Amino acid sequence: MDLLERATKDYNWTFEHTGKVVKDVINMGSYNYLGFAENSGRCADAATESTHKYGVGVGSTRYEMGNLDLHEELEQLVARFLGVESSMAFGMGFATNSMNIPALAGKGCLILSDELNHASLVLGARLSGAIIRVFKHNNMVSLEKLLRDAIVHGQPRTHRPWKKILILVEGIYSMEGSIVRLPEVIALKKHYKAFLYLDEAHSIGALGPHGGGVVDYFGLDPKDVDIMMGTFTKSFGAAGGYIGGKSELIDYLRSHSHSAIYATSMSPPVSQQIITSMKIIMGEDGTTLGGVRLRQLSENTTYFRRKLREMGFIIYGNDDSPVVPMMLYMPAKIGAFGREMLKRNIGTVVVGFPATPIIESRARFCVSAAHTRDMLDMALEAISEVGDVLQLKYSRHQKHPHLPSSQGSWSSEESLLQEPSHVKPSVM
């Protein structure tokens, strides 16, 4: 990609372009997990054709004049992809959480939320009016304690039983790279008769042998998850979000969700982009391109994470997560790392307080199936150089020099035959 440089004269209140363009930057920060966010190709062609046929927008809600056959096809396809009875699509991923959780919980209900849940989940929980209690990240002991206390003590003051207990978790946590311990969460929610809301924004399309997300990754039954939520902004290269589940759930949301009733319909070319990319992932386009991209993403993730560890960096998350947080720790190194990487034509995302604790600053890399092995090696070489300059190689494990791919990488066959790592606990 090409980056346009900008500068500020008023301490970041306003910016203006300097006219300088940084060309051919390797993008290591976008959520383009399967490489569908491209300017050309089958998805782009289908979206262009859809624009000519339907226009760029509908200008109405689904309940008035904004319901198209594309929207119907999309929702049927999503339900089939997820393995659920029904689904509905929304034009904005953030609103999918913030506007639907209030329709599912209210006064007299209890929401148990992972402490690292996304802001959209937090906002949705607060807007619902339900009591919110937070459990430690991916900690099943903490979650079970809250469940037991909720059942034993009931609602505050009245001690009446809760109308509903709703557990909120994510598939992949975008700042940690950790994968939810879904089998254990499902076991707990069944035992204590709670409901489970699973946000698969970063995991749908990026995990599992069929790209079906964390449910597919663990080989679980989709029916065990009460509300399956996800977004189209990552693996599908589009916009918006979805909720899938039983027909009764979706029928209820269609008449009670503010996002369904008052929001404008999804743009036709966006809908077509999702349909085309999802059919490629499912293999319904008559090719094996979807399977190839899923395997490529898995190989790239394994390779990139292994090389960073060998070079002496501390990284967070599960071995199979394409979200790779690399710890910088010191706030002063945040800007320096981003600038030094850009000097080497690598675009990265750096994160600090308040998005993370003040002494847990980090760089967050997002691996894509569109990254070639040469691209990853160039990025790794730059990361290693900057790591030496800024003294970021904190790991106590034995360090290995970065090897070119011909000497230090797995072949495709070797990488695909590695033992699955989802049984390992996430590193925190």
Confidence of residue 406 (pLDDT cuts 50, 70, 90): very low
Q: What is the pLDDT of residue 413?
A: 34
Q: What is the pLDDT of residue 12?
A: 87
Q: Where are the alpha helices (DSSP H) in 87-166?
A: 93-98, 101-104, 119-128, 140-153
Average pLDDT in the 263-290 region?
94
Q: What is the pLDDT of residue 270?
A: 96
Q: Whole-angstrom Cα distance, residue 274 to residue 219? A: 24
Closest CA to 364 of 192, 172, 181, 205: 172
Domain range summary for the chain, segments of one domain joined by +: 3-30+289-416, 44-282
Average pLDDT in the 360-371 region?
96
Residue 6 has pLDDT above 60, yes or no: yes
Residues 6+ apart with CB under 8 A from 414: none
Q: Is the peptide bond before 354 cis (omega within 30 degrees of 0)?
A: yes
Residue 428 has pLDDT above 60, yes or no: no
Residue 411 has pLDDT above 60, yes or no: no
CATH entry 3.90.1150.10 includes domain 3-30+289-416: yes
Average pLDDT in the 371-380 region?
96
Q: Kindly report, residue by residue over 100-136, the tens digit of the pLDDT.
A: 999 999 999 999 999 999 999 999 999 999 999 999 9
Q: Kindly report, residue by residue over 200-256, the tens digit of the pLDDT.
A: 999 999 999 999 999 999 999 999 999 999 999 999 999 999 999 999 999 999 999
Count Cβ atoms below 10 Å from residue 308 Cβ, excluding itself.
Answer: 22
Q: What is the pLDDT of residue 397?
A: 72
Q: What is the pLDDT of residue 410?
A: 36
CATH topology of domain 44-282: Aspartate Aminotransferase; domain 2 (3.40.640)
Determine contact, residues 314/305, Cβ cutoff 8 Å: no
Average pLDDT in the 258-263 region?
90
Average pLDDT in the 46-68 region?
91
Q: Whole-angstrom Cα distance, residue 371 to residue 397? A: 27
Count Cβ atoms below 10 Å from residue 389 Cβ, excluding itself.
Answer: 11
Q: Whole-angstrom Cα distance, residue 394 to residue 405? A: 24
Average pLDDT in the 16-27 region?
93
Q: Kindly report, residue by residue over 289-304, the tens digit of the pLDDT.
A: 999 999 999 999 999 9
Residue 71 has pLDDT above 70, yes or no: yes
Q: Whole-angstrom Cα distance, residue 55 to residue 52? A: 6
Find the length of the chain.
Answer: 428
Q: Whole-angstrom Cα distance, residue 54 to residue 70? A: 10
Q: What is the pLDDT of residue 416?
A: 33
Q: What is the pLDDT of residue 417?
A: 31
Determine contact, residues 110/166, Cβ cutoff 8 Å: yes
Three-state DSSP state, 232: coil
Confidence of residue 38 (pLDDT cuts 50, 70, 90): confident
Mean confidence (pLDDT) of the chain: 91
Q: What is the DSSP letter of 223?
A: G
Q: What is the pLDDT of residue 408?
A: 37
Confidence of residue 260 (pLDDT cuts 50, 70, 90): confident
Q: What is the pLDDT of residue 399?
A: 61
The larger pLDDT score, comparing residue 319 to residue 424, is at: 319
The larger pLDDT score, comparing residue 420 to residue 274, is at: 274
Phi, psi (rounded to 5 degrees) for 119: -60, -30
Confidence of residue 400 (pLDDT cuts 50, 70, 90): low
Q: What tokens were used for 167?
A: 């557990």
Q: What is the pLDDT of residue 414?
A: 34
Average pLDDT in the 139-155 region?
96
Q: Whole-angstrom Cα distance, residue 143 to residue 364? A: 27
Three-state DSSP state, 55: coil
Count Cβ atoms below 10 Å from residue 104 Cβ, excluding itself.
Answer: 23
Exposure class string for 350-382: b at 16+ Cβ within 10 A, else e: bbbeeebeeebbbbbbbbbbbbebebbbbbbbb
